[in-house]
Amino acid sequence: MRIFKFGGASVKDAEGVRNVVNVLETVGYEGTLLVVSAMGKTTNALEVVVKNYFTDKDALPESIAQLKAYHNSIMVDLFGKEEHPVFYKIDGVFAELVSFLDRNKSPNNSFVYDQVVSFGELLSTTILSFYLQDKGIRNTWLDVRTLIKTDTRYRDAKVDWAVTEEQIVAGVNKEVLNITQGFLGSDPNNFTTTLGREGSDYTAAIFAYCLGAESVTIWKDVPGVLNADPRYFENTQLLHQISYQEAIELAFYGASVIHPKTLQPLQRKEIPLHVKSFLNPTAAGTSVSKGQDLEPMVPCFIVKKGQVLLSLSTLDFSFFVEDNISEIFKLLHEAKMKVDVIQNSAISFSVCVENKYDTLDSLLNKLKGRFKIDCYQDVSLYTVRHVNSEALQQIEEGKEVLLKQLLQDTVQIVSK
């Protein structure tokens, strides 16, 4: 069995949906499971719906109407007249969203977030499933929430692997073409959960692991994994082969082309991951598999924008030792902040973190009084793996460097 993941960019408009058919017809689709993300920027738009629900009720209907118009225009393009049953079905999905918001009593932002944001994937997979059917590609639509079971950590749910494996093995027919949602799961009470932004890659890996799939293919708007993000760097090079270890490192440092959690389940069963262009489905792309570390062996550049650099020093010139360092880490953990770089000296301690859940202010309040704090917001973190002198020069050029760290052949720079 093969797992294909189609991300938001691949189904952002009617042309994208048509192209999915083209990809499937080109590479075959028997015994395949499609994991599909929300269309285009739908997840961001649903985040606005959640925000409006809590803070600006007047703007709520319009934010939902816009999403409906967006999906509607794609459907009109794909199915023509509004008599097609897909319109009725999608109306029902939107009615469910509105009904949830009407009925909900929970003040828990993360809980509501998951119940609402999950509609993106329910919409996209419904539309794609109908379209494939119309094109003569029979498929089975699966509700991933009956298959992937998680805890109740909404917005960042942890998979219950034992139950999930049981459900997937019992619930997926390996002989047919299956289509399901990325990014979603459900908790023990069957409330919807999400696996973290960009989590659809991870969903593909979960299915691959549980089904012992022969491979996972992630279809992208780029030729494969490049040695740098083409949005920020010129003259990028395609990486043909990457070992699991190397890919885990790249994803960990923030190479956003693969979600970091995706690789561990695949590595455990040595299932190869292919990253390929949906515009050129027969091209080889990138393989992540057992074997050579990196082919070609070139410096890899990763940039993470919008980070926060916190530099702490003790008020009384006492040393940074285990007890205050562990206290800081405890607070960072409570603030759900991912730490990207750490640097410490005797009396100072710097961390570069991501303020993903808007918890910076409350963290600063807790640190205030205990430490002298310098906080730099909206800084960029650059990481270069397999750095050489030329690459180092390139990355430092014209930047105000706030922190620099060299570890074996990886350099990290935080700059304004």
- The residue ranges that bind Mg ion (CB under 5 A) are 7, 198
Centre a 10 Å sphere on the Cβ of residue 115 and count the other Cβ atoms it contains: 21
- Read off φ and ψ for residue 108, nearest 5 degrees: -75, 110
Interface with ligand ADP, residue 226, by CB under 6 A: yes
Q: Quick one: which of 131, 154, 183, 320 contacts ligand ASP (CB under 6 A)?
A: 183
3-state secondary structure the chain: CEEEEECHHHHCCHHHHHHHHHHHHHHCCCCEEEEECCCCCHHHHHHHHHHHHHHCHHHHHHHHHHHHHHHHHHHHHHHCCCCCHHHHHHHHHHHHHHHHHHHCCCCCHHHHHHHHHCHHHHHHHHHHHHHHHHCCCCCEEECHHHCCEECCCCCCCCECHHHHHHHHHHHCCCCCCEEEECCEEECCCCCEEECCCCCHHHHHHHHHHHHCCCEEEEEECCCCCECCCCCCCCCCCECCEECHHHHHHHHHCCCCCCCHHHHHHHHHCCCCEEEEECCCCCCCCEEECCCCCEECCCCEEEEEEEEEEEEEEECCCCCCCHHHHHHHHHHHHHCCCCEEEEEECCCEEEEEECCCCCCHHHHHHHHECCEEEEEEEEEEEEEEECCCHHHHHHHHCCCCEEEEEEECCEEEEEEC
Nearer to ligand ASP by Cβ, of 257 and 309: the residue is 257
CB of 395 to ligand ASP, least distance (A): 28
Choose one: 37-45, 50-58, 65-73, 366-374; the region binding ligand ASP (CB under 6 A): 37-45
Q: 307 touches which of ligand ASP, ligand ADP, Mg ion, none (CB within 5 to 8 A by kind)?
A: none
Dist. CA 116–CA 43, nearest whole Å:
9
Q: 120 touches which of ligand ASP, Mg ion, ligand ADP, none (CB within 5 to 8 A by kind)?
A: ligand ASP
Nearer to Mg ion by Cβ, of 11 and 60: the residue is 11
CB of 222 to Mg ion, least distance (A): 12
Choose one: 3-11, 83-91, 97-105, 395-403; the region binding ligand ADP (CB under 6 A): 3-11
Interface with ligand ADP, residue 256, by CB under 6 A: yes
Residues in region 170-199 near ligand ADP by CB under 6 A: 198
- Residue 361 tokens, joined: 């202010």
Q: Quick one: which of 225, 360, 381, 395 contacts ligand ADP (CB under 6 A)?
A: 225
Interface with ligand ADP, residue 396, by CB under 6 A: no
Q: 197 touches which of ligand ADP, Mg ion, ligand ASP, none (CB within 5 to 8 A by kind)?
A: ligand ASP
∠ Cα 407 410 415 (to 5°): 95
Q: Quick one: which of 4, 6, 7, 112 contacts ligand ASP (CB under 6 A)?
A: 7
Q: Are 308 and 358 in contact (CB under 8 A)?
A: no
Residues in region 304-333 near ligand ASP by CB under 6 A: none
Angle between helices 60-79 and 14-27 (to 10 degrees): 50
CB of 230 to ligand ADP, least distance (A): 5
Interface with ligand ADP, residue 222, by CB under 6 A: yes
CB of 408 to ligand ASP, least distance (A): 31
Handedness of CA 61, 64, 68, 69 (dihedral sign): positive
Interface with ligand ADP, residue 234, by CB under 6 A: no
Q: 183 touches which of ligand ADP, ligand ASP, Mg ion, none (CB within 5 to 8 A by kind)?
A: ligand ASP
Angle between helices 85-103 and 119-134 (to 10 degrees): 170
- Residue 170 tokens, joined: 């019992």
Interface with ligand ASP, residue 185, by CB under 6 A: no
Interface with ligand ASP, residue 43, by CB under 6 A: yes
Q: 257 touches which of Mg ion, ligand ASP, ligand ADP, none (CB within 5 to 8 A by kind)?
A: ligand ADP
Nearer to ligand ADP by Cβ, of 250 and 351: the residue is 250
Nearer to ligand ASP by Cβ, of 39 and 353: the residue is 39
Nearer to ligand ASP by Cβ, of 202 and 320: the residue is 202
Q: Quick one: which of 71, 220, 261, 274 contacts ligand ADP (CB under 6 A)?
A: 220
Interface with ligand ASP, residue 258, by CB under 6 A: no
Q: Quick one: which of 211, 216, 255, 266 contacts ligand ADP (CB under 6 A)?
A: 255
Interface with ligand ADP, residue 7, by CB under 6 A: yes
Choose one: 74-82, 195-203, 229-237, 281-289; the region binding ligand ASP (CB under 6 A): 195-203
Residues that bind ligand ADP (CB under 6 A): 7-10, 37, 198, 220-222, 225-226, 228-231, 255-257
